[in-house]
Chain A
Amino acid sequence: MERQEILDGLIEVLKTIRTIDPERLVGVTEETDFLTDLSTPSTELINIAAKVEHKFDIEFDDDDIDHMGSKVKDIIDLIIMVKARGENE
């Protein structure tokens, strides 16, 4: 799965997040920060992670979430890592 494809899927997820202003999703890049650029409440990151699991058919471990950064690229990296882990199991 290419990074752009994941980014597109992630933006679809973000469109369903009530606390994110849809207008802010225009021009989202891998460098976009959920906390500072999208003003996402801290609890919402967990909700986003839960929806990402469903969207990409993956399962995060507790430790994955511990180390998840707040930028879009951090989540994309995490999705790629968890997908690879699943394929190796």
Chain B
Amino acid sequence: MITDKETYLDIIKNGNLVGVPPEQMLLHGPTKRYVDKYLWHSPNKGIVARYSPTERDVEDHFGIFRGVDQVEAFAQASTVSCATFLECRKLNCTPAELKEMFIPAFISIGNVNFYNYLEYGDTFVCLGNITFYKWRQMACNGRIYKVPRGFDLDSYFSDFTEERLLKYDISKDFIQVAELFDITGRAIKIELFKKPE
């Protein structure tokens, strides 16, 4: 945990999300937070994050992590995390302070194609690249890959690059589970979000 605000602001201003606990960036949860760790992050380009579905995540669904939750996991890892980081950088504030002003909302989901499945015990990575960011709205494309058990993801992604992200240049041992397009979210002012009809 990052307990010192100045340290956190310095990370936001000069660093990236690697090493930041997801619970300090994604302020909902814990049961519906689908990011365990940020593995690679280039603030204006994209991100790689991992998650392992829990027993609760697959309960009442054949032991399978739902497709709709894959979309949610990808959105949390990419659009929400990356946009929150950039907005905090812009406003020089922490996510907790941002939460007092804005609510992250889905705007739209483009095409999503599924190629495989994820079950309890699996670990997957979301590779998201930012295709649009303006006026607090962000869109990301990307892929979800199932990772071989025991694979050292920290080491593998320690020297990852933007070029490799855009080409999805990763190990052949990873199994593609899904490809997602135009996953779009926007930080909406709380007073507008709760505005009566």
Contact = CB atoms under 8 A, between A and B. Distances in A.
Given A42-B107, A43-B182, A65-B136, 17 more contacts: A41-B108, A42-B108, A43-B108, A43-B137, A43-B139, A43-B184, A46-B132, A46-B135, A46-B137, A49-B135, A50-B134, A60-B135, A62-B135, A65-B135, A65-B137, A66-B188, A66-B192
B45 interface: no
Interface size class of B (residues with CB under 8 A): 10 to 19
B13 interface: no
B189 interface: yes
Nearest to A46: B137
Interface residues of A, number: 11
B107 A43 contact: yes
Contacts of B189: 66
Nearest to B137: A46
A60 B137 CA distance: 13
Interface in A22-80: 41-43, 46, 49-50, 60, 62, 65-67
A13 B125 CA distance: 39
Nearest to A44: B108
17 contacts: A41-B108, A43-B107, A43-B139, A43-B182, A43-B184, A46-B132, A46-B137, A49-B135, A60-B135, A62-B135, A65-B135, A65-B136, A65-B137, A66-B188, A66-B189, A66-B192, A67-B192
Point out which of B108, B134, B192 has the most chain A C-beta atoms below 10 A from its C-beta: B134
A46 B108 contact: no
Contacts of A43: 107-108, 137, 139, 182, 184
Contacts of A62: 135-136
Nearest to B110: A43
A36 B27 CA distance: 34
A49 B184 CA distance: 16
A69 to B, nearest CB: 12
Interface string B157-180: 000000000000000000000000
Point out which of A41, A42, A43 has the most chain B C-beta atoms below 10 A from its C-beta: A43
Contacts of B182: 43
Nearest to A50: B134
